[in-house]
Amino acid sequence: MRILFDELTKVFTDKKRGKKESVVAVDHFSFEIPDGQLIGLLGPSGCGKSTALHLISGLHTPTSGRIYFGDEDMTDVPVEKREVGVVFQNYALYPHLSVLENIMFPLDNLEGNKRISPNEMRSRARAAAKLVQIDELESRRPKELSGGQQQRVAIARALVKQPRVLLLDEPLSNLDARLRLQTREEIRRIQKGTGVTTIFVTHDQEEAMSISDQIVVMQSGRVQQIGKPQWVYDFPANLFVAKFLGTPPINVFRGSIRGGRLFIGKDDVFAAPGLSDQEVWVGIRPEGFILDEQGPLRCTFQSLEMMGRDISVMAGHVALEGERLQALLEAGSGIPAGAAQVNFSLKPDKVHVFSRDTQVRLDWQKGGMGK
């Protein structure tokens, strides 16, 4: 099911100490989610992800704007008529019911011509249990299941009504690291198996990047960028997006454009024809550094760590935002023992330039390396 947002906005107004305070939790959302995709809605805590999800589910009414499923205007359609399945972080299962009874539960509340016989309920619940691979545990109680298994029951319960849209709000937050990894792959498999349009909310960029067809990056209620994970990583729209994606994070420097060249501090690193003289931020991905004695970026060496396939080098630079930069080099790159200085040349694709004023990424014609 295609979902269309048209200037969708949600403002909360609270009274605090007698004063009215407003929060724009979702600010003029205007974009389309194509049918059958898994969308990762990504952003820091408090940026409006859950609110956006509840505008889709119908739990919240928008302050302004419209929302459509296909061509159907859903803005004033109540929750129970929207046919969405929702899974929350706290996937409250009924402790006194078995796995199968938990999954069947929503089918009991079907109305009118949607009502089905108990036998049909059972077989639909079994099909959902099979889909999430917990069919062998159908007679257990929730407390006899691991966290990951409980989460699968919650997903089966959301799927059993064959929803038009599946909404997952930080569904893996309560799981330990290993289960998180496994369950996210599982969610991907289930989504591809059913083809149901799915929105997966998370503050964890790696989680969103690894399973989403497209990610929507949010900050303070506003969409910052939408696109395929790799594309957003490679072409971040602004400094916020560049900093939010990637582990280790992008290294940020104060830079400037002068006479058609890009400077980081005093280091003349690239020709940058086409950009006018101005102050900029320069972001360099950790994998963008090449060890090079003649390289133009001159750093003070701090420490080195072997990480299997990579070598991680920590270094300092006067123009750096933050205390140190982290460069990931291929194993075998030799740093002389006791070196005080380390110089790098840079991979142009891994270097991003942002306006100091607006923080928007500037498209620069990447010229040759300096010096």
Ligand X SMILES: Nc1ncnc2c1ncn2[C@@H]1O[C@H](COP(=O)(O)OP(=O)(O)O)[C@@H](O)[C@H]1O
Query: How far, in Å, CA of 152 to CA of 102, rounded?
Result: 11
The b/e string for 78-105 (b: 16+ C-beta within 10 A; e otherwise) is: eeeebbbbbbbeebebeeeebbbbbbbb
Applying CB under 6 A, which part among 40-48, 127-135, 186-194, 246-254 lies near ligand X?
Answer: 40-48
Q: Is 367 exposed, middle or buried (0-12, 13-18, 19+ CB in 10 A)?
A: middle
Q: Of Mg ion, ligand X, none, which one does residue 191 interact with (CB within 5 to 8 Å by kind)? A: none
Q: Report the residue number, 85 or 171, with the smaller CB distance to Mg ion.
A: 171
Residue 59 binds ligand X (CB under 6 A):
no
Among ligand X, Mg ion, none, partner that 125 touches (CB below 5 to 8 angstroms by kind): none
Q: How far is the CB of 364 from ligand X (least distance, A)?
A: 33
Least distance in Å: CB of 177 to ligand X?
Answer: 21
Q: Which is nearer to ligand X, 50 or 150 (CB)?
A: 50
Q: Look-up: residue for tokens 């909404």?
A: 167
3-state secondary structure of 198: strand
| d(C-alpha 281, C-alpha 240), whole Å | 11
**d(Cα 66, Cα 305) in Å, to the nearest integer?**
52
- Tell me whether residue 134 or residue 187 sits nearer to Mg ion (CB atom): 187
Interface stretch with ligand X, choices 48-56, 208-216, 276-284, 345-353 (CB under 6 A) = 48-56
Determine if 50 is a binding residue for ligand X (CB under 6 A).
Answer: yes
Per rule CB under 6 A, is residue 11 in the interface with ligand X?
no
- Contact between 126 and 135 (Cβ < 8 Å): yes
Distance in angstroms (rounded) separating the CA atoms of residues 329 and 342: 13
CA distance 64 to 11: 9
Please tell me the distance from the alpha carbon of residue 132 to that of residue 181, in angstroms, as a whole number: 15
**Which residues 6+ apart lie within 8 Å of 138 measured at CB?**
98, 99, 100, 126, 129
Using CB under 5 A as the criterion, which residues of the chain lie in contact with Mg ion when the complex forms?
50
Nearest-angstrom CA–CA distance, 94 and 105: 9
Residue nearest to Mg ion according to CB distances in the complex: 50
Amino acid at 260: G
Contact between 40 and ligand X per CB under 6 A = no
CB of 178 vs Mg ion, minimal distance in Å: 24
Q: Which of these segments, 46-54, 128-136, 158-166, 222-230, binds ligand X (CB under 6 A)?
A: 46-54
The entry of ligand X, Mg ion, none that residue 46 binds, CB within 5 to 8 Å by partner kind = ligand X
Closest distance between ligand X and the C-beta of residue 13, in Å?
A: 8
**Sole residue written with tokens 């699968």:** 152
- Nearest Cα residue to 278 out of 260, 297, 301, 298: 260
In the bound state with ligand X, the residue whose beta carbon lies nearer, of 51 and 183, is 51
Count the site residues for ligand X by CB under 6 A. 12
Binding segment for ligand X (CB under 6 A), chosen from 44-52, 107-115, 142-150, 206-214, is 44-52
100 in Cβ contact with 126 (< 8 Å): yes
Q: Which is nearer to ligand X, 165 or 282 (CB)?
A: 165
Residue 116's contacts (CB-CB under 8 Å, 6 or more residues apart) are 107, 110, 124
CA end-to-end distance (rounded Å), the chain: 55
CA dist 22 and 19 (Å) reads 10
For position 12 contacting ligand X by CB under 6 A, the verdict is yes
Q: 319 touches which of Mg ion, ligand X, none (CB within 5 to 8 A by kind)?
A: none
Q: How far is the CB of 171 from ligand X (least distance, A)?
A: 13
Residue choice 45, 113, 119, 294 for contact with ligand X (CB under 6 A): 45
Given candidates 3, 8, 39, 47, which one binds ligand X under the rule CB under 6 A? 47
Partner from Mg ion, ligand X, none contacting 12, C-beta within 5 to 8 A by type = ligand X
Which of Mg ion, ligand X, none binds 157 (CB below 5-8 Å, type-dependent)? none
Residue 14 binds to ligand X (criterion: CB under 6 A): yes
Least spacing, CB of residue 45 vs Mg ion, in Å: 7
Residues that bind ligand X (CB under 6 A): 12, 14, 23, 25, 43, 45-51
